[in-house]
Amino acid sequence: MEKNFTINIFGYGETQYAEKEINFKITTTELTSVKPLLDAIWLEKPEDVVGGDDYYAVNIFNYNAKSWIGKGKENASFGVRGEDSSVDLINTLIAEITALIPKK
């Protein structure tokens, strides 16, 4: 799979996948692999970061950077760098999204 990609999971209910030849958005509720990935990223939250888990956006840049942008000041915001155990979850989400992209 392409290693130069971005995944944006928006709190308003859409998920976007972008890489060299693809820029595709889909309703998040259509994707079964988003929740396990969000749960895994939340578990990576640094201990000193406080707040709820309601998010404006969760962004994944390739396999080595993730950012959780909390919705409002009462929700946590944090970033995580480095490849980790979520690689398989990311690959699962990419496979699910790319399978839904209409064929040209």
Predicted confidence (pLDDT) per residue in 18-77, tens digit: 998 899 999 999 999 999 999 999 999 999 999 999 999 999 999 889 999 999 999 999
51 found inside a domain: yes
Q: Is 46 helix (H, G, I), strand (E, B) or coil?
A: coil
95 vs 20, 46, 56, CA distance in Å?
Answer: 16, 29, 24
Mean pLDDT throughout 80-93? 88
In a domain, 17, yes or no: yes
d(CA 55, CA 52): 8
Structural domain span for residue 37: 6-100
In a domain, 1, yes or no: no
pLDDT at 82: 79
Residue 15 lies in a domain: yes
80 found inside a domain: yes
Evaluated on CA atoms 83, 32, 95, 52, the torsion sign reads: negative
